Chains A and B, each alone.
Chain A
Amino acid sequence: MSAETAAAPSIAAVSVPAAVSRPRRWLVVARHTALLLARDPGTMLAYTVMAMVLLTMLRPVYVRLGAAGGGAPIDRQAPGTAVMFTLLALDVAGQSLLSERTWHTWDRLRAGSVGRLTVLVGKAIPLTVLFAVQQVVLFVFADAAFGFDIAAGSWRLPLTVALWGLCVSGLGLAVGAWTRTQGQLSAAADVGALAVTCLSGSLVPLAILPHWVSQVAPWTPAYWALRGFQGAVEGGGSDFLEALGVLAGITVLALAAASLRPMPGRGRC
C-alpha cells in the first residue's frame, strides 16, 4: 500500500454484507422517497390550495343544485373536490417513479438487490400519506368554512381517505412505470385525471349529466371513491363496503400493472 493510501482515513475492511430484511428495505426507500417529496412540495401545495379555492368558488352552484342531489350540498361537493384534486396529483406519484429512470438511479437500485416490489412499496407508503394529508386538509377546511361534518364520517372517513390515497398512489406508479418521458407522464396523468373526474361525477353531480355518463361512471375509480366518501358520511352500509372493495381491487390491479412493466433499457433480470 502506498504512503498516500496509508494516510487515508481508516475504513473497515471489505466484507460480505449481512442480508437486509425486505421490510427494512421498504422503510429505507419510503424514508428516502418522503425526503425527496418534501424537497419539492410545490405541486402538492398548489393542488391543495386550488382545491380549496374551487370548493369556495363553486359553493353557490352546489347550493343551487343541492335539492337535486339529496343531502347537504357540501357532503357531495367536498368529497368530489377531494377526489378530483387527488387524481390531478397523480402525476406526483408517476414522477416519483419516472425520476428513478431519468436520474439513472433505477439501475443502481436493481444492481443493489432492491427489487421492483421494494421500490413500489417503498414509494407507495409516503405517497399514500401525502395524498391522505391533502384530503384531510381539504375536509378540515370544508368543515370549518362550510359545515362539512367530518365527525359524521367516524372511522369510515379516515379509512376511505387512506384507501383512496393508496389507490391513487398505485395508479400514479402504474402511469409512471408505463411512460418513458415527462411529456408522456403529464399527458397521461392530466388528461386521464380530468376525464375520470368528469365521467365519475366528482366535479358535476351525475344527476344533471347525460344518462350515458351514469353508465360509464362505474368504470372509473373516482366513482367508487365518491361512493365510499358519501357512504362514510351517511353512515356506512353495504354500499360503503362495496365501494371500498372495488377501490381495493383497483389498487391491487394498479400496483400489479406497475410491477409487471419491463423497465426500458437493454433487458430485464
Chain B
Amino acid sequence: MLEARGLRKRFGTVAALDGFELSVEAGEICGLLGHNGAGKTTFARICAGLERPDAGRVLLAGTDPSSSPARARALIGYAPQEIALYPTATLRENLRFYGGLAGLRRSTLRSEIAAIAEAVLLTDALDRPVATLSGGQQRRAQAATVLLPRPPILLLDEPTVGADPVTRQALLALVRERAAQGAAVCYTTHYLPELEELDATVAVAQAGRIIARGRREELLAGLPSTVALEFAQNEHADEHADEHPDTDTDADADGGLSFVTGRPAETLARVLTSLGERVGQVERIEIREPSLDDLYRHLTAANQDTAIQDAADQSTAKEDEHVR
C-alpha cells in the first residue's frame, strides 16, 4: 500500500534521507523509530507530498505522488507533529472543513463527526473553539480530523506527544481499528511501549535509512534476556558477580545482581546451584525478556559503532594514502 524505494533528500549539507526504503501493507501498523534527525519526519512529508525527494520514489497504492499528486494525496491522512487546527473555529467546524475537503457529503458528515468525536472522547468538546481545548484534547482533535475521511494510508507523526494516558489509549484504539479496517499505518513515535500495544511491526531509522525492519518477535529473537536476582544482604551480590565472569554480570548497590544472557534458564540454574546454602538469601528472581527499548538501543549503538569504525577506517586509509 505504501512503498518507498531508495529515497534521498538533502537540506543543504545535511542528508535527511540516504537510501530510505520502507513498505507498509494494507492493514499493517508500522512503528517507525529513530532518534531526532533520523529522517522520520522527512519521510512522512515526502509521502504527504510536502517535499520532493532528490532521488528515489514513493508509491501510494501504486500511485506515484510526483506524477499524480492530487490522486496520491487523496489517499493519505497526514497528522504532523505540531497541532494544525483552526484555533478560533470549534472542533465541529474543523472536522466539517477537513471532511468537506476530503469529499464527505453533508448528509454523512454529521453522523461521521459524531462517531469520530465519540471515538476520541471529545463529544462534549465538539462545539468549543479549539483554542480553548487542553493540549491532550487538541492532540485528539487533530487525530480526529485526519481519521475522519477514512484514508487508506495514515501517516501519524508522533500523534501522542504530550498526551495523557486516557488520551493515548483512545488514540491507540482508534489507530488499531483503522488498521483492522484495512488502512496502512505508518506510526512515528518515541514511546516504544505504544508499538507493543498497537501490535505493530517495527522499522528503525538512523541517519536517513532503515537499519532494521520486521516483526517485533523476529527482531527481538536475537537479543539476550536479563536474569535479575535480589539478595537480602548486599555483600552476596558482589561475591557472585565475580563468580560468573563468562556472562555480562552487573551488581548494583541495592543488593541486586543481573546477568545478561542468551540462555536465561540455564544461567539461572547455574547461578542458583553456585549459591549453595546461600540461596535462602535470594529475595526475588526475575527473567526480563528483551524489549523494544533494548532492541532500539542495541541497533542504534551497533550502527553508531559501525559508523565510527567506518570513519576511522576511512581516516586511516586517507593517512596511508597521504604517507604513500
Decide: A103 and B101 in contact? CB cutoff 8 A: no
Residues of A within 8 A of B208 (CB): none
Decide: B182 and A107 in contact? CB cutoff 8 A: no
**A-B contacts, CB under 8 A, total:** 141
Interface residues of B in 55-100 (CB under 8 A from A): 61, 65-66, 69-71, 73-76, 78, 80, 82-89, 93, 97-98, 100
We find that the number of chain B residues with CB closer than 8 angstroms to chain A is 54
Q: Which residue of B lies closest to A7 (CB)?
A: B173
Residues of A within 8 A of B87 (CB): 103
Interface residues of A in 23-74 (CB under 8 A from B): 24-25, 28-29, 31-32, 35-36, 39-40
Decide: B73 and A105 in contact? CB cutoff 8 A: no
Residues of B within 8 A of A265 (CB): 50
Is B213 in the interface zone, CB < 8 Å from A? no
Decide: A103 and B85 in contact? CB cutoff 8 A: yes
Tell me if A's interface is mostly helix, strand, loop or mixed.
Answer: loop
Residues of A within 8 A of B52 (CB): 267-269
Is A151 in the interface zone, CB < 8 Å from B? no
Is B49 in the interface zone, CB < 8 Å from A? yes
Residues of B within 8 A of A113 (CB): 49, 69-70, 73-74
Residues of A within 8 A of B51 (CB): 266-267, 269
Decide: B118 and A9 in contact? CB cutoff 8 A: yes
Decide: A111 and B49 in contact? CB cutoff 8 A: yes
Q: Which one of B11, B49, B93 lies within 8 Å of A269 (CB-CB)?
A: B49
Residues of A within 8 A of B119 (CB): 8-9, 11
Is A145 in the interface zone, CB < 8 Å from B? no
Decide: B84 and A103 in contact? CB cutoff 8 A: yes
Q: Interface residues, chain A, CB within 8 Å of chain B?
A: 1-2, 4-5, 8-20, 24-25, 28-29, 31-32, 35-36, 39-40, 103-105, 107-115, 265-269
Q: Knowing that A12-B150, A16-B74, A111-B50 are A-B contacts, what are 5 other residue pairs whose CB atoms are under 8 Å apart, sorted by A's residue number? A: A8-B119, A8-B177, A108-B80, A110-B49, A265-B50
10 closest A-B pairs by CB:
A113-B73, A104-B84, A111-B48, A20-B103, A28-B100, A111-B78, A13-B181, A14-B183, A108-B84, A39-B88
